Amino acid sequence: MSRQGLHIQVDLERQQLRLLSGSACVAIYSVSTARNGPGELQGSECTPRGLHRIRLKIGDGEPTNSVFIGRRPTGEIHTPELAAANPDRDWILTRILWLTGLEPGRNRGGAVDSLRRFIYIHGTPDSEPMGRAASHGCIRMRNSELIQLYDQVSVGTIVDIREQF
């Protein structure tokens, strides 16, 4: 657990992220996880299961809808016009919580390493649906809700990803 005992649960079946303090639920957010379902293998475009922790927080002070490529802000702000000009981009917006696996052989090391797979909790365009699996493996959130979450958690916060809780 992290500061003030906060930890995160991601329920793949319900497409929900819960922020907990001990056993008390602090917030529930609708998310979008992998279109390909759960899985850990490199290249699978699946959302990895198991215990993780936040390895890095990226995006302090960046404006809402700021665009990231390779974990760096591009200076662009996502708009419908920018999206129309780049229809094939997988948009990573506003903030990034980069996850690292804690379970060797399951989500850490070799061909199942969540950190090397670049698995994030990140913002997505407001036009993208929440509550249904549609991502390329990451956990997508509404930008305003991601900022709320980002501001409450710290590096080291535990993230437990399961098919259901």
The catalytic residue positions are: 122, 138
* 139 phi/psi in degrees, rounded to 5: -110, 110
- What's the start-to-end Cα distance of the chain, in Å? 18
